Amino acid sequence: MIFVFGSSKREKNEKLINIANKIAMTKNEEVAILFLDTEDKEIHKDYFVDKIYILKNKKLLYYNYDNYFSVLNKFINDNDFSILLSQNALVEREILNSIANKNKLSILNDIVDFKMDKDGVFCRKNSFRDESVYEYKLDLNKKNILVVKNSNVKCDILKEKNRNVNIVDAEFDNEGNYEILRDIEVEKKSIDNAKIIFSGGRGISNEKAFNNLRKLAQMYNAAVAGSRPMVELGFINSSEQVGQTGNIVSPDVYIAFGISGSIQHLAGMKNSKNIIAINNCKNANIFNFAKYGVVDDANVILKDMLEILNK
């Protein structure tokens, strides 16, 4: 069996199911999607899978490490599987790495692509500094947990969409190590599926320029992003970081203000359809990947764009 750890995002579930079905074809295995939830919902149905499981408990309304760990850990130990696929959101990453650590299972994080051929199934990951790509061969005779950051796997699926849900009552009794007081909505546009991203780097590393970047992005209904040093300086949140240790994005337009194009940053955005780069150094690496380039001070261009658009 190949399991997909489902989330509340249908598009991400479908992407993982594509990978699962493609691998399943090489081994003639079944594919199932697995959800942790409080009840049976529409998001759990209509997938190209053989089985759908919902591990159900009212206490799963909020993410509590102990509760999620208990439920998923029991399921993983009670069921045989060769692969468990998951997206790499914070909750999934946290819980699956812990399950792998405690059960001494093999886990691969930050997978950026797959290769399947007569020699087996391979996962690809970038090295931390993105200087090279590593290809990992899966041993499908043991349990593998795969946390997927990005994938281009396409699959012609022959099976019907499934609506039959298997509900498993997930019982657990924890010591109450974690108490959730409240959840807080943070006003932020996700860069995950953004069509247009305004991104800033060292060339605009001052608060005023970043405020201008945010204002401009707001006018275009664009997401804001930045390189790793911008997180360290506090101008952007870690979930807005693009690059090897951040998010991998491929929007229609990626406008890079004051970004030189380090290998780490390029790893996260080089597949954008149109890259517009503004940098005061003509030899900046970003221009090797950009469709349009401006050799100028990004702070000035930002200010001028705002002024013109505000008129």
Partner 1 sequence: MREVLIILSNINFKIDESEKDLIDSDRNIISEVLNLNNRDELRVNAMIFTDDLSYGDKALKSAISLGVDKAYIIEKKDFDFYNIRLVSKYLAKAIKENFNAMDAIFFGRLSYTGDSFLLASALADELGYNRILNSKFFLLDEVVKIRKEIDYNIDYEMKVKYPVVISSIREDVKRKYASILNLMKAYNDSKIEKIDITITKEELLEIFKSDYEYNNIEVSSEDNGNCQFIELENDKDVAIKIIEKLEELGFVVK
Footprint (CB under 8 A) of partner 1, residues 207-226: 219-222
Pick the closer one to partner 1 by CB: 4 or 223. Answer: 223
- Supply 263's token pair: 């290998």
Q: Which CB contacts under 8 angstroms, 24+ apart, belong to 31-38?
A: 31/1, 31/2, 31/3, 31/4, 32/1, 32/2, 32/3, 32/4, 33/3, 33/4, 33/6, 34/3, 34/4, 34/5, 34/6, 34/75, 35/6, 36/60, 36/68, 36/71, 36/72, 36/170
**Which window, 49-57, 59-67, 70-78, 160-168, contacts partner 1 (CB under 8 A)?**
59-67
Q: Is residue 79 part of the contact set for partner 1 (CB under 8 A)?
A: no
Q: Is residue 81 part of the contact set for partner 1 (CB under 8 A)?
A: no
Question: Which residue shows structure tokens 């807080």?
Answer: 184
Q: Is residue 301 part of the contact set for partner 1 (CB under 8 A)?
A: yes
Interface residue with partner 1 among 133, 159, 166, 211 (CB under 8 A) is 133
Q: Is residue 250 part of the contact set for partner 1 (CB under 8 A)?
A: no
Applying the rule CB under 8 A, the residues between 259 and 278 that interact with partner 1 are 262, 264, 270, 274, 276-278
Contacts with partner 1 by CB under 8 A: the residue count is 91
Pick the closer one to partner 1 by CB: 54 or 123. Answer: 123
Q: Is residue 179 part of the contact set for partner 1 (CB under 8 A)?
A: yes
Q: Is residue 298 part of the contact set for partner 1 (CB under 8 A)?
A: no
- The least CB distance from residue 72 to partner 1, in Å, is 14
Letter for the amino acid at 286?
A: I
DSSP symbol at 171: -
Q: Is 202 exposed, middle or buried (0-12, 13-18, 19+ CB in 10 A)?
A: middle
